Amino acid sequence: MVHLEASGGGSVQAGGSLTLSCIASGGTNSYNSCAWLRHGVGKEREGVAAIHPDGTTSYIDSVKGRYTISRDSIKNDLYLQMNSLTPEDTAIYYCAAGRWVADHLRELEYTYWGQGTQVTVSS
């Protein structure tokens, strides 16, 4: 059974940086696409960054140039480097994985989910 463990969240001031990690275990050959999604208070959950099976990446416009998603090809662990954080980035961040993903930033495409890690950015 696939298990995803997200960590690395915390509280930072605007302009700061955080790196999120998602440690994968069990049946990692069950998926080939991975993503980070977030859920802010009063907002819908949204995909922010994804890695496609061919290694290409997708980002929502609001994080382009600030976030970088990466994946350890051997361990299948997933990372999200977040720079120049703003209060609008405050949310619970989830890592997710799936197979046969068509829309890589769409939450319903993903089968496996980590438990979420809180990111809080103060102004």
Q: Each residue of 61-88: pLDDT tens digit?
A: 999 999 999 999 888 899 999 999 999 9
Q: Each residue of 90-113: pLDDT tens digit?
A: 999 999 999 989 999 999 999 999
Do residues 80 and 69 make contact, with C-beta atoms less than 8 angstroms apart?
yes
> How far apart are the C-alpha atoms of 105 and 25, rounded to whole Å?
22
**Number of residues that this document lists for the chain:** 123
pLDDT confidence of residue 111: 95
**Residues with Cβ < 8 Å from 56, sequence gap 6 or more?**
none
pLDDT confidence of residue 44: 95
In the chain the first and final C-alpha atoms are separated, in Å, by 40
> How far apart are the C-alpha atoms of 96 and 11, rounded to whole Å?
22
Provide the greatest CA pair distance for the chain: 41
- Residue 10 is encoded by which pair of tokens? 């915390």
pLDDT confidence of residue 30: 87
Do residues 47 and 106 make contact, with C-beta atoms less than 8 angstroms apart?
yes
Q: Each residue of 4-60: pLDDT tens digit?
A: 999 999 999 999 999 999 999 988 788 899 999 999 999 999 999 999 999 999 999
Residue 97: CB atoms within 10 A of its CB come to 26
